[in-house]
């Protein structure tokens, strides 16, 4: 039983704790420096795209047939390299593209919702003021995402950092609780074993006393 307890305790591996601490550390860095983190992520993406593009370009020159497929690969490779260079030189401008796209989509949906709210009003539906508010909220959020696109990226990155911190803290808490449960279980097993040994010693003492009594008779 003791060996099983010890084996369970060893299964609470150090790598889980190290991974949790790493997540917390990265999360704190991301929250404190969201802009720098965004740049680094963009640079990593640029490096990946550059490697992919250069690979296609190299494959074109290796391919002696100069087939149409290899020419398409060359064109794609050049585009990827150019895109990688632009992202590397303008990482924040690239990052701002995503909230701008989302903002445009939200504005379009907001305008459509305004039309639906007007139709609901025309049909004397009492819910139309709520539909109007929803449409305006969507449109306003879209405008804010376009107007404050960089801040939107930073907020998104900070939310990722908060998620990493939450993951690390909860992992540490779970490991602590499991380790504590295993420790308490081991103490309970040790107490049971000790009680069993005492009972065994008492039983042996009773047997010896009985043997001595029989011999005296």
Average pLDDT estimate for 57-77: 79
Q: What are residue 20's phi and psi, to 5 degrees? A: -65, -45
Select from 48, 45, 72 the least CA-distant residue to 60.
72
pTM: 0.67
- Residue 62 burial by CB count (10 A; 0-12/13-18/19+): exposed, middle or buried? exposed
Q: 207 versus 7: which is more confidently predicted? A: 207
What was the pLDDT predicted at 187? 62
Mean pLDDT is lowest, of 29-33, 80-84, 96-100, 179-183, for 179-183
Sequence-distant (≥ 6) Cβ neighbours of residue 71 within 8 angstroms: 60
User: How far apart are the C-alpha atoms of 14 and 171, rounded to whole Å?
Assistant: 12
Residue with tokens 């008492």: 202
What was the pLDDT predicted at 128? 81
> How many CB atoms within 10 Å of residue 195?
10
- Residue 41 burial by CB count (10 A; 0-12/13-18/19+): exposed, middle or buried? middle
> How many CB atoms within 10 Å of residue 205?
10
And the tokens for 206? 């009773």
User: How far apart are the C-alpha atoms of 88 and 43, rounded to whole Å?
Assistant: 5
User: How far apart are the C-alpha atoms of 182 and 74, rounded to whole Å?
Assistant: 60
């Amino acid at each position: 039983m003791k060996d099983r307890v010890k084996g369970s305790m060893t299964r609470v591996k150090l790598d889980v704790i190290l991974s949790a601490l790493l997540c917390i550390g990265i999360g704190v860095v991301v929250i404190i420096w969201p802009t720098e983190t965004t740049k680094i992520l963009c640079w990593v993406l640029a490096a990946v795209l550059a490697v992919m593009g250069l690979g296609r370009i190299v494959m074109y020159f290796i391919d002696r047939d100069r087939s149409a497929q290899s020419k398409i690969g060359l064109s794609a490779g050049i585009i990827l390299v150019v895109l990688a260079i632009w992202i590397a030189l303008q990482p924040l401008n690239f990052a701002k593209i995503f909230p701008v796209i989302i903002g445009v989509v939200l504005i379009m949906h907001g305008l459509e919702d305004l039309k639906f709210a007007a139709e609901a009003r025309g049909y004397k539906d009492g819910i139309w003021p709520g539909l109007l508010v929803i449409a305006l909220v969507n449109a306003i959020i879209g405008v804010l995402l376009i107007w404050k696109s960089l801040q939107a990226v930073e907020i998104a990155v900070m939310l990722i950092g908060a998620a990493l911190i939450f993951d690390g803290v909860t992992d540490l808490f779970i490991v602590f609780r499991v380790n504590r449960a295993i420790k308490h279980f081991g103490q309970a097993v040790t107490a049971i074993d000790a009680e069993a040994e005492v009972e065994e010693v008492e039983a042996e003492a009773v047997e010896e006393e009985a043997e001595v009594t029989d011999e005296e008779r």
